[in-house]
Amino acid sequence: MTDRPGSADGEPEADPDPPASDVAPASDDAPDAQTTAPEPSDPAPDAGAAPDSAPAPEPPPVPSVESTRRLLGASFDLLTRTSDDMRRASFYIGLIVLGTVGPLAIASFGIEVVSIHHTRREMEDLVGLGVVEGFLGLLAALGLFVASVESQAMAASILGGQVSLRPVTTRAALARSRMVFWRVVVGAIVVGIPVAIAQAIVDAIFVAAFGPQTDLSFVSSVLVAALVGAPLAYVLAGIVLGDVPPVEAARRSFRVFGARKVAAVLVAVFQSIAILLVLLGVSAGLDVALRILDALGLGTDSGPAGLILIVIGIVVGVFALGTLVYTALAISLASIARESVISPVG
């Protein structure tokens, strides 16, 4: 701004526009006004209409189908990947068995301790002793029944969730077990009836031909379970994972059997072996416990401290029995859960 001559009171007056030479030349980087004019955009889509370009969520990848030779290895790998949830579930089943079978075990030991100081006739005359034993026996049987059903349902839920890449927590598996409890029971009856009939027929034939031989009876039981139970090996998975009634689960099981016959037979044999593992584990555990008690000099005639130690051992043993039941059934179900989730038929 400069004072121009002739201006009133010497007030400054605005300079005229500077000459073109004084204006800084436009930079080469400056965009041309015509070229930077915004292009007419497409009309905005209706707010209520879903955009066509929204990508659809991709489904989780389907696990590969393992060959029959690698099925057991893949099943054990599946068990390893679900070890944390499986451990918590086994503790839950152990608590169920402890709460239902434990009272019978402790009461039976207590009766043995009391019988030392009484004759057999005096023990028989005790009022209500038979009723108490009968009630505790019924409670123990119901507890083992519930533990068996819930072990299968929870293990199938956890393993199936891991295979389908949608992990299921122990709490969710328990909720699922409560939802399908009675359907699992009916499914077990559907599977058990033909297997039991076939085993009875084969056992009668073997007894008539070779006499009562335990080894032959064991082999025949496993073979019958494999042959007769194979088409129905996937009923449990159909109920728990497929959420269908037992009859529909049996129909789907036959379809899976038609696609994977050898794998189904292997799965059925594995289930039979798992039940035998439970019996073997219980027998071996009792034998070890009795040997330890004998080595420590503990028995029904021990003092108060010794009796307390025995009771603690009974509690630990019963809890271990529950975890063993769950673990054995989970091992038998690992291959079933994997086959059911990745099977091309359903």
Q: Could you tell me if 226 and 202 are in contact, meaning their C-beta atoms sit under 8 angstroms apart?
A: no
6: in domain = no
Q: Could you tell me if 334 and 73 are in contact, meaning their C-beta atoms sit under 8 angstroms apart?
A: no
Q: What is the residue range of 140's domain? A: 68-342
How many independent structural domains does the chain possess?
1
27: in domain = no
3-state secondary structure 278-317: HHHHHHHHHHHHHHHHHHHCCCCCCCHHHHHHHHHHHHHH
Please report the pLDDT score of residue 323 as a whole number: 92
Q: Could you tell me if 170 and 88 are in contact, meaning their C-beta atoms sit under 8 angstroms apart?
A: yes
Please report the pLDDT score of residue 189 as a whole number: 92
Please report the pLDDT score of residue 342 as a whole number: 52
171: in domain = yes
Characterise 10 by phi-psi region: left (phi > 0), alpha (psi -120 to 50), beta (else).
left
Please report the pLDDT score of residue 297 as a whole number: 84
User: Does residue 13 sit in helix, strand or coil?
Assistant: strand
pLDDT in tens, the chain (346 residues): 444 444 444 444 444 444 444 444 444 444 444 444 444 444 444 444 444 454 555 555 545 555 555 666 666 677 777 888 889 999 999 999 999 999 999 999 988 888 887 777 777 667 567 788 889 999 999 999 999 999 999 999 998 888 888 888 999 999 999 999 999 999 999 988 988 888 888 878 877 777 766 566 667 777 777 788 888 888 988 899 888 999 999 998 898 888 878 777 877 777 777 777 777 878 888 888 888 888 888 888 888 888 899 999 999 999 998 998 898 888 878 777 666 555 544 4
- DSSP conformational letter for 36: T
35: in domain = no
Residue 200 burial (CB count, 10 A): 11
Nearest of 161, 147, 146 to residue 84 by alpha carbon: 161
pTM of the model: 0.72
128: in domain = yes
Please report the pLDDT score of residue 22 as a whole number: 46
222: in domain = yes
